Amino acid sequence: MQAPTSMTLPTAPGINFHRHEIPAWLQTRYIETGYRANLNFLQCFTSIFSVHNEVVAIWTHLLPALVFGGLTASFFFSNHRHSALFAQTSFSFTLVFTASAFMHTFNPINEEWHLWTLGLDWAAIAFVIYGVGHSLSSLVYYHDPRRQDMWKLAFAVPCSAFASIASWGGFHYLPQVTKISLVLLPSLAILAFGFDLCHRLPSHELQIVKDVMRVPLLLTISGILVYGAQFPERQFQDINFDMTRGHHLYHHVWSSAFAFIYLRNTWKWAQKIGIKHY
């Protein structure tokens, strides 16, 4: 897909430009108004307290980033035997929410910065997939450190590869379906992991895993479907979704819910099995 050509930004800074007033690299499909342009770093930061088409996206991930940052610190300074594992898991969520909020806040500075923040946002997704895989392997195979290490490596390799691809400057111009497909590549490690534990765990332990992951998996599936279909703004183009960004808002809501529910469920699980190996 050919990258759109640049054009001159509006001469004055603003936070309510129409789609036709800004260059192609700043435009979002189905979003017509509320665009920021020609802002410097400080102006982008102060714009989080103004009304524009990214303010909801900023705060729906900035607030979870602050919460998970606090949880990470709490786990890190805790003497609890599970603190190292959960500090790492919580930090992975902190990183992905921070990267997202950072991207939505500072992406309109210039085209180079725009592409860099988008790459950072997508690369952070790879880190959170690794964080989930790391904690799952630690919990499922708490009695088998060697198998833990095998699966941590199995998660690390595709996640590192995806993070490298996401950091590429042309990643932003790939079709939406291609981006989602690339995200699914590290997720294949999770599918292989699921197949492995289904054949190795006793039925009662497997049921615990299902109970822990049922809601997070349903949220993930619904999020992928909504994001891929760009629902509802693609299907209801006569309705204005400029301030909420439609499917992107749902992406922020489900990912935040996933993180909170996953961390809560795995914490209860760890308490139950009394893991000693990480």
0.95 cut: is pTM over it? no
Residue 82 clears pLDDT 80, i.e. is over it: no
- The DSSP element (H or E) to which 36 belongs, if any, is strand 35-37
Model pLDDT, residue 9: 52
Q: What is the mean pLDDT of the chain?
A: 87
Model pLDDT, residue 40: 94
Find the domain containing 106 and state its range.
53-273
The CATH number of the domain where 85 resides is what? 1.20.1070
Binding residues for Zn(2+): 104, 248, 252
Within a domain: 44: no
Mean pLDDT of 206-225: 91
Instruction: Give the number of domains in the chain.
Output: 1
Q: Please state, in angstroms and rounded to a whole number, the distance separating the CA atoms of residues 165 and 160.
A: 9
- The DSSP element (H or E) to which 35 belongs, if any, is strand 35-37
Within a domain: 9: no
Q: Which of 174, 165, 179 lies closest to 2, judged by CA?
A: 174
More confident residue, 3 or 265: 265
Residues paired with residue 35 on neighbouring β-strands, in sequence order: 17
Helix residue ranges per DSSP H, 26-110: 41-46, 55-76, 83-106
Within a domain: 243: yes
Mean pLDDT of 77-101: 92
Model pLDDT, residue 274: 59
Mean pLDDT of 249-270: 94
Model pLDDT, residue 272: 74
Model pLDDT, residue 6: 45
> Do 32 and 49 form a contact (C-beta atoms < 8 A)?
no
Within a domain: 247: yes
Model pLDDT, residue 1: 35
More confident residue, 24 or 277: 24
**Coil vs helix vs strand at 82:** coil
Confidence at 29, pLDDT banded by 50, 70, 90 = confident
Binding residues: 104, 248, 252
Within a domain: 33: no
Tokens 């595709």 belong to residue: 158
Within a domain: 36: no
Within a domain: 6: no
Within a domain: 10: no
Q: Please state, in angstroms and rounded to a whole number, the distance separating the CA atoms of residues 237 and 82.
A: 48
